[in-house]
Structure 1
Amino acid sequence: MSIANIPEIYLNNKASEPDLFVYDFKMTNDVVKSKVNLGMNMFSFLQIGKKQIHFPGNSVAVNKDQSLLLKKGNWLWTELLETEEIYYCKLLFFSQDRIKEFLAKNCKKQQSAESSLPYFIIGNDDYIISYLNSLSEIGKLPNSLKQNLLSTKFDELLLYLINKYGSAFEKYLHSLILKEVSPFKKIVEAKLHFNLKLEEIAFLCNMSLSTFKRKFISEYGTSPGKWIQSQRLNKAKEALENKEVKPSDIYLDYGYNNLSNFSTAFKNKFGCSPSEI
């Protein structure tokens, strides 16, 4: 699977990356777990469809009533159509320099960002809807005027969201300019229950598959396939013991294509079938 470098693929001038950039993204077919290298922080204002994103250590899903502010990095994206025949979101990209400028001017007090997630969910209220309409109108103007107005509109949006979400949003903004450190084990262990392929987990760790396997063996002392299967079966057994689910409800969640394979692996590990738990 190829990697999409965003927003580079949307820029007419590949050699020049603007501090602020708006792009209307539309598609007419589902895209599942596409690999994305997000080179700038980005607002994804979802207007039609559904979106799910896997991050190192986390994941999030939103519908057309919600939008996302996303930290730059390597993500897996799933974008799905709903009843309409088109998926549509307006993307607003912004540079590290632009967010630093805003924080220096409007947020004098440094906010701790240690607990911030790689995303922030935004409700598509009446203001956001009106804001998106105004961005569409700005896009019709001459380029010099467009950039000046877009800069003003960017500050307006952030000020509105700080007013709406308070210190939680302000802390998130500060987290965008901190150097991100992703411990290897934290990423691997957070992805146990998302039924991702090894190459997808390796991508989230920003590694090739071969490098990921070598790193995994050095950290865990066994191959990733064996370790992940064992951990998933332990979690499946725990869920069954708590009477939360039936075997037929969970085998896909724990990486098995059918109930028979799940039952065989379960019995080999625990000496009894999942239905006997």
Structure 2
Amino acid sequence: MSIENIPEIYIKDKKESPDVFVYDFKMTNDVVKSKVNLGMNMFSFLQVGKKQVHFAGTSVAVNKDQSLLLKKGNWLWTELLDTDAIYYCKLLFFSEKKLKEFLEKNSKNKQIVKDEIPYFVIRNDAYIISYLNSLSTISEAPTVFMENLLSIKFEELMLYLLQKYGKKFELYLHSLVIKDTSPFKKIVENKMHSNLKLEEIAFLCNMSLSTFKRRFVSEYKMSPGKWLQDKRLQKAKETLEQGILKPSDIYLDFGYNNLSNFSIAFKNKFGFNPKETSN
């Protein structure tokens, strides 16, 4: 799967590197786990459809009633159509320079943020809906005015969110200017119970698959495939022991394409079929 460099692929004049940039993203087909190298921090105002994103040690899913502010870096995006035959979101990108200018002007909080916070969920209230309409309107303005207008609109949005979410949002903004120091093991262990493939976890670690495998063996003294399979099967067993879900309900969640493969791997590890677990 190729890596999409965003927002570079959306900018017509490749010589430009705007500090604030808006793009209307639309599609008519589901896209599952596309690899995205996000070069700028980005608001994703989802208007029609559903979206799930993975970043390093975490993931989040939103619907059309919510929007996301995402930290720049490597992401896996899943974008799904809803009842309509189209997926639509408005993307607002902003540079680190623009963010630092805003914080210097509007943030009195000098607290050092140690934890990486890759996303912030925003409720699409009446203000956000009105704001998005205003962005659509200024997109018709002459190019010479666009940069200044977007700069003003960016500050307007940030001030509103700062007022609405308070210190929580302010600390999140400060976290965006921290260089990513997420340790390798933290990412791996946060994803061990997911259905992500090795290649996808390697991408979130910003590594090639071969480099990831070498690093993994160095850290865990075991191949990543065997280690992840053992961890996921153990978690699957614990889930089935609760007696609520059946094997057919969970095999996809633990990275298996079909129930038969899951059952064989489960029996090889534990000596009995998964359907016998809750009995």
Q: Distance in 2 between matches of 1:131 and 1:94?
A: 16
- Residue of structure 2 equivalent to 1:76: 76
1:138 CA drift (Å):
1.1
TM-score, normalised via structure 1 length: 0.97
1:229 CA drift (Å):
0.4
- Residue of structure 2 equivalent to 1:50: 50
1:116 CA drift (Å):
4.9
- Residue of structure 1 equivalent to 2:86: 86
SS of equivalent residue, structure 1 residue 77: strand
Amino acid at match of 1:274: P
Paired residues for 1:1-277 under 5 Å: 1-277=1-277
Amino acid at match of 1:32: V
The one-character-per-residue Cα deviations of 1:191-221 (angstroms, maximum 9, x if unpaired) are 1222111111111110011111101110111
The one-character-per-residue Cα deviations of 1:45-91 (angstroms, maximum 9, x if unpaired) are 01111111111111111111110000000001111111111111111
**Total equivalences in the alignment:** 277
Amino acid at match of 1:82: D
Amino acid at match of 1:190: N
Any conservation in 2 of the 1:116–1:171 contact (CA below 8 Å)? no
Q: Distance in 2 between matches of 1:255 and 1:109?
A: 43
Amino acid at match of 1:231: K
Q: Distance in 1 between matches of 2:62 and 2:245?
A: 25
Q: Distance in 1 between matches of 2:68 and 2:112?
A: 21
Query: Aligned Cα RMSD in Å?
Result: 1.2
Any conservation in 2 of the 1:256–1:262 contact (CA below 8 Å)? yes
1:274 CA drift (Å):
1.8
Q: Extract unaligned runs of 5+ from structure 1.
A: none
The one-character-per-residue Cα deviations of 1:168-189 (angstroms, maximum 9, x if unpaired) are 1000000011111121111111
> Percent identity at matched positions?
73
Q: Extract unaligned runs of 5+ from structure 2.
A: none
Any conservation in 1 of the 2:239–2:245 contact (CA below 8 Å)? yes
